[in-house]
Amino acid sequence: MTVNLEKITRQGKALFLAYDQGIEHGPTDFNDSNVNPARILEIAEKGCFTGIIFQKGVAEKYYDKKRNKIPLIVKLNGKTNLVKDEDPYSPQICSIKEALDLGASAVGYTIYLGSEFESFMTAEFGKIQEEAHDRDLPVIAWMYPRGRNVNSESDPKVIAYAARAGLELGADIVKVRYTDSLESFRWVVESAGKTKVVAMGGSKEAEEDFLVKAKEIMAAGAIGFAVGRNIWQSKEPLLVSRSLSEIIWGQKNV
């Protein structure tokens, strides 16, 4: 069954504002201007975003499904970085029912491909994907190769493998790291087949560098981005999101 991505895309393209770093990294990523989730919701609503990514706790306390217009994407699993296991496992902490009650238009789940615990995550993902698709809810897979078996998380071959695994597992969209070259990222997109590809942001970098990469990512065939720190750690989040959306949709359409 193919699910409809219309609610979380515009003209088939996507720009998601990621804000689940509070659990993944802790408030070390934040400062006074972005520690408050209400402020991030404001950026998401004023910018050209097609979705906001929250964990269930933040969604429950800050997202009002009647008032907020930006589509909600609920992250269903998560972990802190205090546990230093080389082979990560990110357990499910929210159900599809809870996500729908919160007003979700899509759900997300991280799979650490190559981790010793990969099979727990692929099994959990399989159930989530089935239930979500039964309810016509798109599923975004954060496909992150990580663990002792993965020599380099940024190896283009491993990233292409992760994208392909996302297709095989039934993800509607995979979120993967950029390979740092247009040519190798084109292969990542081709490997994902009919599963759409969005690029993750990564830690904050100079805006010019970030936007140059963004152009390459779109030229390689991705449908967009799921980015957090490069937007809300910027002094001008709305300006960066505008530049990004001009790259995605073209100046006239923004």
- Enumerate binding residues for ligand FBP (CB under 6 A): 18, 20-21, 24-25, 142, 200-202, 227-230
Min separation Cβ 18 and ligand FBP, Å: 4
Q: Which is nearer to ligand FBP, 103 or 202 (CB)?
A: 202
Q: Which is nearer to ligand FBP, 174 or 189 (CB)?
A: 174
Q: Which is nearer to ligand FBP, 27 or 183 (CB)?
A: 27
Q: Which is nearer to ligand FBP, 145 or 170 (CB)?
A: 145
Q: Give the pair of three-digit tokens for residue 217.
A: 């990512």
Name the residue with the smallest CB distance to ligand FBP: 201
Among 13, 56, 75, 175, the active-site one is 175
Q: Which amino acid is at 99?
A: A
CA distances from 78 to 75, 105, 216 (A): 7, 19, 29
Task: Name the one residue in this structure whose structure tokens are 């609610």.
Answer: 7
Catalytic status, residue 62: no
Q: Give the pair of three-digit tokens for residue 99.
A: 């996500």
Min separation Cβ 115 and ligand FBP, Å: 12
R_g (Cα) of the chain, nearest Å: 17
Distance of CA 26 to the CA centre of its chain: 18
Min separation Cβ 224 and ligand FBP, Å: 13
Greatest distance between any 2 Cα atoms in the chain:
48
* Residue 254 C-beta-side C-alpha neighbours within 13 Å: 20
Q: Give the pair of three-digit tokens for residue 239.
A: 């300006």
**Torsion angle, alpha carbons of 208, 212, 214, 215, to 10:** 140
Min separation Cβ 4 and ligand FBP, Å: 23
Min separation Cβ 108 and ligand FBP, Å: 8
Distance of CA 246 to the CA centre of its chain: 19
Q: Which is nearer to ligand FBP, 134 or 205 (CB)?
A: 205
* Nearest to 63, CA basis, from 80, 79, 75: 75
Min separation Cβ 1 and ligand FBP, Å: 26
Among 144, 161, 178, 213, the active-site one is 144
Catalytic status, residue 56: no
CA distances from 49 to 69, 75, 108, 210 (A): 11, 17, 17, 17
Q: Which is nearer to ligand FBP, 4 or 165 (CB)?
A: 165
**Torsion angle, alpha carbons of 223, 149, 94, 137, to 10:** 30
List, by residue number, the catalytic residues.
Answer: 144, 175
